[in-house]
Amino acid sequence: MAKRKKYIIVAVILFLLSPGLCLLYGYMEARHIKVRNLTYSDRDIPEAFDGKKIVFISDIHTNRYFTPDDVAELVKKVNSLSPDFIFLGGDNTEKDEAYSKPFFEEIGKLESTYGVFSVLGNHDHWEDAKLIQQGLTDCGFHICDNRSYWIKEGNDSIKIGGVGDFWEDLQLTDSTINDVQKKDFCILLSHNPDYLEKIDTDRIDLMFSGHTHAGQITFLGLWAPVLPSTNGRRKGEYINTGQKYRYGWKEKGGISLYVTSGIGMGGVPFRFFAPPEIVEITLQRDPD
């Protein structure tokens, strides 16, 4: 009887402690940014870009949970990877000058061979799209919201473009694809991965998105009870892709999409089985 009583006491203590332990784990996970190393192979990648390295970060959400000091450390980590390209996937900072001013001071220190390419996210629009876009422009970044750029190396070139946020802006791909042939290698940035459902072209090879935070709070990384892709906030129509574009590699219509878990946090200062990440992708020419 005494032994059983001890077991019950231990069980009760563990039950009472478990919420606190989960919160502690979620707090720590949100602050442990890992580097995910990936390779993308495609026969359209020109020889001069074989082996080039893309570093993709998104959803920094600079605020009281992810501070300008955290941004400074993030920039150091990204630069240490010696990227050829850096892509920013949107949702950058609160408009409050206490966060936005030091954010731009730090993010402007990003270094890569061909520059930094950015699109805005829905939170950037909710904060102040004009202010944030101007800050990114002042950093010398390539603004890709409904714009595009040819990147040349010797006799070879690739196209990098983007679209406006799927909830709060227009999505115009003409700039990206109007002078691209199917044999060209073309990359598209879209903050929201749901935009893949609307793309109707065979001239885009690779797409990068964020927005979902991989669910941020998930059931063992398998399912997220709350996900922005499930709430149909697209203006003028109902969009519900469920868990389809929550995280990782996706494929549709010949376009390969990588959805990152992002860097910062939205709403609560925790992540649970949805760790933040810096994505490092090496381009590999596929001879086949």
- The mean predicted confidence, pLDDT, of the chain is 91
Asked if residue 99 lies in contact with residue 62, where contact means CB atoms within 8 angstroms, the answer is yes
- Give the pLDDT confidence of 78-133 residue by residue, as tens digits: 999 999 999 999 999 999 999 999 999 999 999 999 999 999 999 999 999 999 99
Does some domain include residue 6?
no
- Residues spanned by the domain of 145: 31-285
Quick one: average pLDDT of 257-277?
A: 94
- Give the pLDDT confidence of 187-235 residue by residue, as tens digits: 999 999 999 999 989 999 999 999 999 999 898 889 999 887 655 556 6
Q: How many domains does the chain have?
A: 1
Q: Which residues contact 58 (CB under 8 A, 6 or more apart)?
A: 88, 89, 90, 91, 121, 191, 208, 209, 210, 211, 260, 262, 263
CATH number, residue 112: 3.60.21.10
CA dihedral 110, 111, 115, 116 (to 10 degrees): -20
Does some domain include residue 21?
no
Does some domain include residue 136?
yes
Does some domain include residue 5?
no
Residue 21 has pLDDT above 80, yes or no: no
Does some domain include residue 111?
yes
Q: Determine if the pTM surpasses 0.85.
A: yes
Burial of 70 from C-beta contacts in 10 A (0-12 / 13-18 / 19+) = middle
d(CA 242, CA 162): 24
Count of Cβ atoms closer than 10 Å to residue 96 Cβ: 13
d(CA 228, CA 187): 24
Poorest-pLDDT segment among 14-18, 116-120, 149-153, 245-249: 14-18
Q: Which residues contact 60 (CB under 8 A, 6 or more apart)?
A: 66, 71, 74, 88, 91, 92, 93, 103, 107, 262, 263, 264
Q: Give me the phi and psi of 230, to 5 degrees please.
A: -105, 5
Listed residue (22, 38, 108, 6) closest to 248, CA to CA: 38
Does some domain include residue 12?
no
Does some domain include residue 10?
no
Does some domain include residue 19?
no
- Give the pLDDT confidence of 238-251 residue by residue, as tens digits: 678 889 999 999 99
Residue 153 has pLDDT above 50, yes or no: yes
Amino acid 234: pLDDT: 60
